[in-house]
Amino acid sequence: MPSRSLSDLHPIVAEMARKLVEEAAASGLELLVTSTLRTFDEQAELFAQGRTKPGKIVTNAKPGASWHNFGLAFDVVPLIAGKAVWNSPRWAEIGAMGKEVGLGWGGDFKSFKDLPHFEFHPDLTIALANQRRSNGEPLLA
């Protein structure tokens, strides 16, 4: 099962996630972090959904092609009365808060709008992230 723990994120991204959650709380909105770090196997399972397994397609990223695989992305959902509200009318507001703290927002993706998704990887490509991971090098300088 993918992690929900901010401690599994890169420390820079974890701090940005904390700021987003705090900013949302200050505006009266509770956010639940639903996914942080994913293993390549977990990513493969998600990628199979809606393709070779039942369900709706939820990602276009194969294993090693998701920022979640590197601890540089996380997903959230707003809660109302303790219940997740995936069709919230406040996604644009949440996205703006994330961008304010320096995160990229999945709602800005061109081909696949991923409203719950936030990521941070300045000047880093997936290929470079995979290379650094293989070489045991830090992902972010």
pLDDT digits (tens, 9 = 90+) for 62-85: 999 999 999 999 999 999 999 999
Residue 36: other Cβ atoms inside 10 A: 23
Contact (Cβ atoms closer than 8 angstroms) between residue 27 and residue 70? no
Q: Please tell me the predicted confidence (pLDDT) of residue 112.
A: 84
Domain residue spans in the chain? Answer: 6-135
Residue 118's pLDDT band, with cuts at 50, 70 and 90, is very high
Q: Please tell me the predicted confidence (pLDDT) of residue 90.
A: 95
Identity of the residue numbered 46: L
| Residue 101 pLDDT greater than 90, yes or no | yes
End-to-end alpha carbon distance in the chain: 29
Q: What is the CATH architecture assignment of 6-135?
A: 2-Layer Sandwich (3.30)
Q: Which pLDDT tens digit goes with each residue over 6-63?
A: 999 999 999 999 999 999 999 999 999 999 999 999 999 999 999 999 999 989 999 9
| Residue 1 pLDDT greater than 90, yes or no | no
Report H helices in the chain: 11-26, 40-48, 91-100, 126-135
Q: Please tell me the predicted confidence (pLDDT) of residue 58.
A: 87
Between vectors from CA 80 to CA 110 and to CA 24, what angle results, nearest 5°? 60
Residue 63: other Cβ atoms inside 10 A: 16
